[in-house]
Amino acid sequence: MVRLSVLAITAVAVIAIPEAQAVDTANNAAETEVVTVTGETTGSLTSLSPEESAKQKRQVPGAFTVKTTDDMELGRASNFEDLLQRTPGVFLQSENGVEVSKISIRGSGITSEDEPLGVIFLLDGLNFNQGDGESVLEDFDVAALSHAEVFRGADAFKYGALTLGGAINLVPLTGTMRRHFKCGLKAEVMASSVAT
Amino acid sequence: MSGGAVQGQFDEFGAIGFRAREGFREHSREDTEILFADLGYKFSDQVENRFYLTMDQGQQESAGRFDEVRNGKRPFAG
């Protein structure tokens, strides 16, 4: 067997050399164009870029939305209501105007006072909910987010059996996505008077 | 404030936020500091590790529906 394979290699070499010479002599001035192949680095493997996340639309059979913080920063960008508003099927309510305390997808946990029920929050696919199932979103700064993937309905079952409403996967920014320093200041003034 | 960088196999990102609020009514003051950071290390083109750090400190007053009227101090008000 070994002998046979050695033979085969020599045979190929013998055939290839005359061919190469033939091309060389036939066209002396043959110059090939320089082909420059450029490509972007794939970025992070753990935190996908919004473009990579959006590709899941072809794989997820049900309702799936990617909300990027670029859309959010057109307006006020201070809490999850600003990020996830106008996502189909997602209902958010803020108790005090600053923090989102109530999140419901497709009516899940709609009678719950302040704990999102049936909605699982993930950070890069890892469970972000607390041990009792409650998710405290105030712990997370939306300024650190790249985008959020919203899985509605049965698509969220891959993240847990109790995710009847859906799953929201938060993808934070990484060094590969944000390579510059950014500083922002936001101020809101609200005036009201009460007639007594 | 947020910033990130890539150094060789490492990539790091950090964000820190401060939020202060007076509120439009009594007992709705808020003072919050939030920190998020993540550090990634690429072992190879297929393997990557990432650490996350989330820190949150805040003082929040929560205004409720229980007011003086319901408390009985001013039963005939309103």
The structure tokens listed for A193 are: 């008077």
CA distance B48 to B41: 6
Token reading at A94: 């803020």
Rounded to whole angstroms, how far apart are CA atoms A151 and B43? Answer: 30
Q: Which residues 6+ apart lie within 8 Å of A129 measured at CB? A: A120, A121, A135
Are A69 and A83 a contacting pair, CB within 8 Å?
A: yes
Range in A147-151, B32-36, B45-49, B69-73 with the lowest mean pLDDT: B69-73
Host domain of residue A85: 50-172
Task: Collect all residues of chain B within an 8 Å Cβ-Cβ radius of residue A177.
Answer: 4, 13
Alpha-carbon gap, residue A46 to B12, rounded angstroms: 13
Q: Tell whether A1 is covered by a domain.
A: no
Q: Give the tokens for residue A60.
A: 């997820």
Six-digit token string for A140: 């997370």
Q: Has residue A66 been placed in a domain?
A: yes
In B, which residues are within 8 Å of A98 by CB distance? Answer: 19, 21, 30
Per-residue pLDDT band at B15 (split at 50, 70, 90): very high
pLDDT of residue B50: 92
Structural domain contains residue A179: no
CATH of the domain at A56: 2.170.130.10
Structure tokens at A68: 């990027």
- Domains identified in chain A, total number: 1
Contact state of A182 with B63 under an 8 Å Cβ cutoff: no
Q: How many CB atoms sit inside 10 A of residue A67's CB?
A: 22
Beta bridge partners of A122: A127, A169
User: Running along chain A, 196 residues long, what does each successive block of 10 average in pLDDT?
Assistant: 45 46 59 83 79 86 87 75 85 72 84 78 86 75 88 88 88 86 77 68
Chain B CB contacts of A146 under 8 Å are none
The ipTM (two decimal places) reads 0.75
pTM above 0.80, yes or no: no
Q: What is the pLDDT of residue A187?
A: 77
Instruction: Specify the pairing of strand A119-123 against strand A166-172.
Output: parallel
Domain residue extents for chain B:
2-62
Closest CA to A84 of A158, A45, A137: A137
| The pLDDT of residue A164 | 87
In a domain, A29, yes or no: no
For the record, the structure tokens of A190 come out as 């609200």
Residue A46 CB: number of other CB atoms within 10 A?
Answer: 18
d(CA A11, CA B29): 85
- CB-based burial label for A70 (10 Å; 0-12, 13-18, 19+): exposed
Decide if pLDDT at B11 tops 50: yes
Is residue B53 less than 8 Å (CB to CB) from chain A?
no
Interface of A with B in 157-186 (CB under 8 A): 172-184
Under the banding of pLDDT at 50, 70 and 90, the label for residue B40 is very high
> Angle at CA A194, nearest 5°, toward A114 and B25?
35
Beta-strand ranges (E) seen in chain A are 64-68, 90-94, 100-105, 119-123, 126-127, 145-152, 166-172, 181-182
**Count, residues in chain A:** 196
